[in-house]
Amino acid sequence: SYVGNTAYILVTSSVTWYDAQSYCRQHHTDLASARSLTEYQLILKPMTGVATHVWIGLFREPWKWSDQANLTINLWMLKKPDDALGNQNCGYISNGLAADAQCSDIMPFFCHKIVYPRRQWTIKVRVQSNQDVNDPMVKEAILEK
């Protein structure tokens, strides 16, 4: 799923929150975070029929996204986060809502990555010289400017 220049990737391998974060940072950008309800809905879209509990980039310090951005939308299940088992410092989503869990639990996870569109530029140059523009030295001098 995409929003703007961000793609969301569901990884179905079950790992701990920290292993998920490492994987996302190595292969993509980071664990998925949602700055808006639109972004959150795009994260949820690929979950249909795939997984019931999925790590996202929520962690407690207080609750923030793994890229240090503040949590600005309420995604929590009723009465969550509750730290019921103690040391529940990582966040996951289930049935469209977020909850807290111990970071050592294992589950699939969502990554996000920044997608940079490929752009091609055409530049017209008017040369006011009697030099040969196909000469490699002249080409290099033009490109440096």
The answer to whether residue 139 scores a pLDDT higher than 80 is no
Yes or no: say if 90 and 17 are a contact pair by the CB < 8 Å rule: yes
In the CATH scheme, what architecture does the domain 2-120 have?
Roll (3.10)
Residue 127's pLDDT is: 67
The answer to whether residue 57 scores a pLDDT higher than 90 is yes
Average pLDDT, rounded, for the chain: 86
Give me the mean pLDDT over the 5-15 stretch: 90
- Answer left, alpha or beta for residue 119, where phi above 0 means left and psi between -120 and 50 means alpha: beta
Per-residue pLDDT tens over the stretch 87-121: 999 999 998 899 999 999 999 999 999 877 777 77
Residue 49's pLDDT is: 66
CA distance 99 to 96: 10
The answer to whether residue 78 scores a pLDDT higher than 50 is yes
| pLDDT bucket at 38, cuts 50 / 70 / 90 | confident
CA distance 134 to 145: 16
User: Who wins on pLDDT, 139 or 56?
Assistant: 56
- Answer left, alpha or beta for residue 49, where phi above 0 means left and psi between -120 and 50 means alpha: left
| pLDDT bucket at 1, cuts 50 / 70 / 90 | very low
Q: Where are the domains of the chain?
A: 2-120
Give me the mean pLDDT over the 23-52 stretch: 86
* Residue 113 backbone dihedrals phi, psi, to 5 degrees: -140, 150
Q: What is the pTM of this model?
A: 0.74
- Produce one character per residue of 11-48: b if its CB has 16 or more CB atoms within 10 Å, e if not: beebbbbebbbebbeeebbbbbbbeeeebbebbbeebe
Residue 87's pLDDT is: 92
